[in-house]
Amino acid sequence: MLNGPCSLYNNINIPSKGSDFYCFKEKIEPKWEDPLCANGGKWTATFPKGRSDAAWLYTLLAMIGGHFDYGEEICGAVINVRGRQEKVSLWTKNASNEMAQEDAKRESHSLRLAI
């Protein structure tokens, strides 16, 4: 199951080298105008320059491996590399689903602690 994603990950630049990436579930576009994201929320973990690569990998593995308690509420994840900081964000389907928002918040907080 992980052969495809791992093979892809091992053959692309790491985000801290200046690349932005997104990984969204099938049939969900990485834009707020997508009907599945339109009412959603976002949790972001911010890292100093060069420190987000492991957090991005952990986020991808958590999504693929079904680590989230409310995984059906996760639309996808984005990493943005800008200047001196890097951000890993989790996008959720429904901002009013408090339990799912707490799950995403907990995960984004644990990313900061893991690095």
Query: What percentage of the chain carries pLDDT values higher than 70?
Result: 83
The pLDDT-based confidence of 1 (bands split at 50, 70, 90) is: very low
Check if the beta carbon of residue 45 is closer than 8 Å to that of residue 55. yes
Q: What is the pLDDT of residues 67-101, one digit of tens each?
A: 888 788 899 999 999 888 899 999 989 888 788 77
Domain map (residue ranges) of the chain: 15-26+33-114
Structure pTM? Answer: 0.79
Which strand ranges, in their side-by-side order, compose the sheet holding 41-48?
21-24, 74-82, 85-92, 41-48
The pLDDT-based confidence of 112 (bands split at 50, 70, 90) is: low
CATH topology of domain 15-26+33-114: RNA Cap, Translation Initiation Factor Eif4e (3.30.760)
pLDDT at 16: 82
